[in-house]
Structure 1
Amino acid sequence: MIIRLAKERRPPALQQRRRLLAVLAEAQRLVGLDRFPGLLQINLVGAETIAAINEASLGHCGTTDVLTYDWREPNQPAQTANRHDDDDKDNVDDDPPIAAEIYVCPDIACAVGPTYGNHPSQEMVLYAVHGMLHLADYDDLEPKAQQRMRAAEDKVMTALQKKFILTDFLKL
């Protein structure tokens, strides 16, 4: 999938955007989503926005860290393609259709990350990885599935931390 990153124009500010796109592309590769066609839209949104989306789409009141929507056709074949892009370019009309969307809340990452010993930027990347794993058919509703997903998150995050600095994407 082609990755496109969008962020609401509100604090915290995003910095190192191109490196963040490289991190997200590597995460996508590690999860196995890079073989699928279409556009993966990753939206960084505030607490109010994600709460509204959470209520409108799932009927849940309040904020959440990440929401994932898979718009791909069932049994869609994988292809060999990997590209990332950002929304500052004028190629929107040339983009393939949106295959999936991940909404990540940096506000929650800032509030919760330090509680788990994570920098808010690192926590934000973890939320994106979590969303990607959902797109790769990981689930976290049952305890066994949740353990499997946490192990996959740990594996991807460890690989990303070996290759990238994950602590400077949000200007705090």
Structure 2
Amino acid sequence: MNTISVRNQQRVHRIASREFKKAATIALDQLFQIPAYSLSITFVSAKRMAEVNEAHLKHEGPTDIITFDYSEADTLDGELIICPAVATEYGQRYDVPLGRELARYFIHGVLHLNGHDDHAPNDRRQMKREENRLLTQLAKRFPVDTLAYG
């Protein structure tokens, strides 16, 4: 049975958790066409993201998303830690609503779980193109701008 859990552990930005779960389900079922998955999506504060980033990646400060892959054989299994505070900064810089930016991070995380990498410049460009394509497709199926506010 496929499962998605969405938890909001920060208090600054309003996350429409039920709606985010619906959008994630559409993306996994229709766009990625993943037959078996178990995914945890957690929204955290900038402070908590900085702690996770330091503990697991040895990087300083908050980042937009950290993906943990627990997948085995036939099941996509992972955890996405997403920071709405960082998403807000990028969203303001590029004039993108917070909900859409968070949907982008979700897609980015699932691409990582599917084996995409963004360390080399060419891989990063290819991943960004796929991210853009999938975000456009998701936005046609679900109002991603309404996934979060503030």
Structure 2: segments with no counterpart, 5+ residues: none
1:111-140, Cα deviation, whole Å (9 max, x unpaired): 211212211111011111100000011110
CA contact 1:10–1:46 (8 Å) conserved in 2? yes
Question: Aligned to 1:118, what secondary structure does the other structure show?
Answer: coil
Matched, 1:111 2:112: no
- CA separation in 1, counterparts of 2:3 and 2:28? 10
Amino acid corresponding to residue 161 of structure 1 in structure 2: A
Q: Secondary structure at the match of 2:138?
A: helix
Q: Is the 8 A contact 2:40 2:78 kept in 1?
A: yes
Q: Is the 8 A contact 2:91 2:101 kept in 1?
A: yes
Q: Which structure 1 residue ranges, 5 or more long, are not aligned?
A: 80-98
> Percent identity among equivalent residues?
29
For 1:45 and 1:156, locate their aligned partners in 2 and report how far apart those are by CA, in whole Å: 24
Contact kept in structure 2, 1:31 and 1:136, CA below 8 Å? no
Task: Output the CA distance in 2 between the equivalents of 1:24 and 1:111.
Answer: 23
Which residue does the alignment assign to 1:26?
26
- Equivalent residue number for residue 11 of structure 1: 12
Q: Distance in 1 between matches of 2:32 and 2:123?
A: 16
Asked if the contact 1:6–1:43 (Cα under 8 Å) also holds between the matched residues in 2, the reply is yes
2:46 counterpart of 1:47: yes
Q: Which moved more, 1:50-59 or 1:109-118?
A: 109-118
Deviation of 1:110 (Å): 1.2
1:77 is aligned to 74
Q: Which of 115, 123, 142 is the equivalent residue of 1:145? A: 123
Report deviation, 1:61.
0.6
Displacement of 1:143 in angstroms is 1.4
| Amino acid of the structure 2 residue aligned with 1:41 | S
Please state how far the C-alpha of 1:169 moved relative to its aligned partner: 2.2
For residues 60 and 98 of structure 2, the distance between their equivalents in structure 1, rounded to whole angstroms, comes to: 23
Match of 2:8, as an amino acid?
A: K
The structure with more radius of gyration = 1
The alpha-carbon deviation at position 146 of structure 1 amounts to 1.0
**Residue matched to 1:100:** 78
1:9 deviation in Å? 4.5
Q: Identify the structure with the greater helix proportion.
A: 2
How far off is 1:171 after superposition?
Answer: 2.9
1:131 matched to 2:109: yes
1:62 match: secondary structure: coil
Higher relative contact order (CA 8 A, sep 6+): 1
**How far off its partner does 1:44 sit?**
0.7
- What amino acid is the match of 1:8? Q
| Count of residues in correspondence between the two structures | 148
